[in-house]
Amino acid sequence: MAIEFEVSTVIPAEPQVVYHAWLDSAQHGAMTGGEAQVSDQVGATFTAWDGYISGKNLELDPGRRILQSWRTVEFAEYEADSLVEVTLTPYGKHTRLILRHSNLPEHGSIYEQGWIDNYFEPMLQYFAG
Q: Give tens-digit pLDDT for 54-79.
A: 999 999 999 999 999 999 999 999 99
Separation in Å, CA 33 to CA 25, 50, 58, 91, 124: 11, 9, 24, 25, 13
pLDDT tier at 2 (50, 70, 90 boundaries)? confident
Residue 104: its pLDDT value, please?
Answer: 97
Domain holding 56, by residue range, is 3-128
Claim: this prediction has a pTM higher than 0.75: yes
Q: What is the CATH number of the domain that holds 94?
A: 3.30.530.20
Q: Which of 104, 103, 101 lies closest to 120, judged by CA? A: 101
Separation in Å, CA 6 to CA 40, 63, 96: 23, 19, 13
Residue 90: its pLDDT value, please?
Answer: 98
Residue 117: its pLDDT value, please?
Answer: 96
Q: Give tens-digit pLDDT for 11-51.
A: 999 999 999 999 999 999 999 999 999 999 999 999 999 99
Residue 102: its pLDDT value, please?
Answer: 98
pLDDT tier at 1 (50, 70, 90 boundaries)? confident
- The whole-angstrom separation of Cα 59 and Cα 41 is 9
pLDDT at 129 over 90: no
Residue 61: its pLDDT value, please?
Answer: 98
Q: How many domains does the chain have?
A: 1
